[in-house]
Chain A
Amino acid sequence: DTAVSQTPKYLVTQMGNDKSIKCEQNLGHDTMYWYKQDSKKFLKIMFSYNNKELIINETVPNRFSPKSPDKAHLNLHINSLELGDSAVYFCASSQSRTGGFLGSPLHFGNGTRLTVT
């Protein structure tokens, strides 16, 4: 009954490979995100989708491509992996309707630790 689930939990791959990370949420939220957490634990937003529409697209190399087949899923595909892509990638979701509070909490998955060798 995990709210936001990501697979795989660990991903070890070589430079130049292409890999995907999958994310699913069962909270009924309409907005999903990808965050990158570096080795110093800094959390940086990469993408945000609302009802399958791309809302936030930060300065991320175009080797990273999110895909949202429906509002419960947001996958991340990475082409031509580089050493600097090594990080923990978190998927998150939230409800865009704020219920009177100017912000709705993010629900994070447990992360995918990507190691590029």
Chain B
Amino acid sequence: QQQVKQSPQSLIVQKGGISIINCAYENTAFDYFPWYQQFPGKGPALLIAIRPDVSEKKEGRFTISFNKSAKQFSLHIMDSQPGDSATYFCAASLRYRGSTLGRLYFGRGTQLTVWP
């Protein structure tokens, strides 16, 4: 059972355009929502993250929008650049057996290609 559903699977955007990736979840106990970026041949790396008590977080060209009532969150990449071409993963974290250790559930990833 997929805990976090991500769409689209792939996305092609022209340079300067806006890339939007959407995620949805069911478990209201999730308490942390990060996005990871993965380049070919590399491991995923944290890009930006948000807590559920905040509706938006912006870092440079990257913005997370969070809709708690709809149980949805999305990543917006403004002024997309060819260097943004990568696979993006949304994730959600849940305390594991009462521990503060986050247990991350990843979405299936979105392959973003930005054309010059």
Contacts and interface: CB of A to CB of B under 8 A. Distances in A.
A102 B106 contact: no
A100 to B, nearest CB: 10
B93 interface: yes
B41 A110 contact: yes
B43 A102 contact: no
Contact of A42 (B46, B99, B103, B108): B108
Contacts of B42: 110-111
Contact of A101 (B32, B44, B101): B32
Contacts of B18: none
A102 B29 CA distance: 12
A43 B51 contact: no
Given A56-B103, A96-B101, A108-B44, A102 B51 contact: yes
Interface string A83-114: 00000001010101110011111111111000
A50 interface: yes
- Interface residue range, chain B: 20 to 34
A102 B109 contact: no
B79 interface: no
A101 B109 contact: no
A45 B43 contact: no
Contact of A109 (B43, B87, B96): B43
A103 B34 contact: yes
Interface of B: 31-32, 34, 36, 38, 41-46, 49, 51, 87, 89, 93, 95-96, 99-104, 106, 108-109, 111
Interface of A: 4, 31, 40-45, 48, 50, 55-56, 90, 92, 94, 96-98, 101-111
